[in-house]
Amino acid sequence: MSGLLAGKRLLVTGVITDASIAFSVARLAQENGAQVVLTGYGRLSLVERIAKRLPEPAPVIELDVTNREHLAALGDRVREHVDGLDGIVHSIGFAPQSCLGGGFLDAPWEDVATAVHVSTYSYQALATAALPLMASGSSVVGLTFDATKAWPVYDWMGVAKAGLESASRYLALHLGPKGIRSNLVAAGPLRTVAAKSIPGFEQFEDAWSARAPLGWNLTDSEPAARACLALLSDWFPATTGEIVHVDGGYHAIGA
C-alpha cells in the first residue's frame, strides 16, 4: 500500500455523519494507505451505516469517552482489529445548550462539567486508554476552535477548547519522552452536527465568509482533515504541542 500514511493503523473517533470532520479524516487516511478503526458514540447503528460509505468499510467500536468501562476495554476492543496503533484522532466535542449561545453567565456547573469532561478531559482519557497500543513515532491529533479569543455564542465550549489546547501541550510534555506527539488542528467553522447545535452559529459563518483571506467553504471538511493526516504522518517528526490553523487565514487578520 502506498500513500502518506502507508501501513499506519489509526483509531478515529467522532464520526456521526458524513459531514463529520472525522469522516473526512477516515476517508482520506484510507485513500492514503492507512488501516482505520472507528469509535462511535450513542447512535451506533448510524455510525456503522456511515462507516460503510468509506472506501473500505471500517470496524466500529462503541466508545463514550466519559464511560470508564468503555475506556478500560478500549485496548482489547482495538486489538480485535489491529495489533497496535500509530495514530489516534480525537474529534469529539459536546456542551449542553445552557453553555452555548450567550449562556456564559447563567450556565450551571453541572453543565459546564459535562462540557469539560467530554470536550477537554477526554483528550487525556482517550490517549492514556490507547497508550499501551502506541510505540515511539505515534501521533495523537485533536480538533479545536481557536480558543485564544472569546467568541460570541461559543461561551463555555470556548473555555473547554482553551482547556483542550492546554491539555494537548501537557500530553506533548508527558508523552514526548516515549516519542509520541500531540498536536491540534484549529479548524474554521464547518456545518456539522456539533456546529449546528450552537445557537447563533451563522455569526461565525458570516464572519469567516467576509474575512478569511483565502476564503472559506463551510461545507468542506477536507482541508482540516488533510492537516490531520499531515500531523499523523511521518512528515512532522519533531513537532508536538502545536496548533495548526486551517481556517482560510482568519486567525491572522485583524478586524
Ligand X SMILES: NC(=O)c1ccc[n+]([C@@H]2O[C@H](COP(=O)([O-])OP(=O)(O)OC[C@H]3O[C@@H](n4cnc5c(N)ncnc54)[C@H](O)[C@@H]3O)[C@@H](O)[C@H]2O)c1
Of 12, 25, 38, 92, the one binding ligand X (CB under 6 A) is: 92
161 is catalytic: yes
- Exposed / middle / buried, residue 206 (Cβ in 10 Å: 0-12, 13-18, 19+): exposed
Of 4, 11, 16, 172, the one binding ligand X (CB under 6 A) is: 16
88 binding ligand X? (CB under 6 A): no
For 163-247, strand residue ranges (E) read: 181-187, 243-246
63 binding ligand X? (CB under 6 A): yes
Nearer to ligand X, 15 or 229 (CB): 15
Q: Which of 41, 123, 154, 250 is catalytic?
A: 154
Q: Which of 149, 161, 170, 178 is catalytic?
A: 161
Q: Which stretch binds ligand X (CB under 6 A): 50-58, 63-71, 102-110, 130-138?
A: 63-71
21 binding ligand X? (CB under 6 A): yes
154 is catalytic: yes
The contacts of residue 173 (CB under 8 Å, 6+ apart) are 241
- Exposed / middle / buried, residue 185 (Cβ in 10 Å: 0-12, 13-18, 19+): buried
Number of residues counted as binding ligand X (CB under 6 A): 29
In the structure grid, which three cell numbers stand for residue 122, read together?
477526554
Q: Which residues pair with 245 in a beta bridge?
A: 186
Enumerate the active-site residues: 154, 161
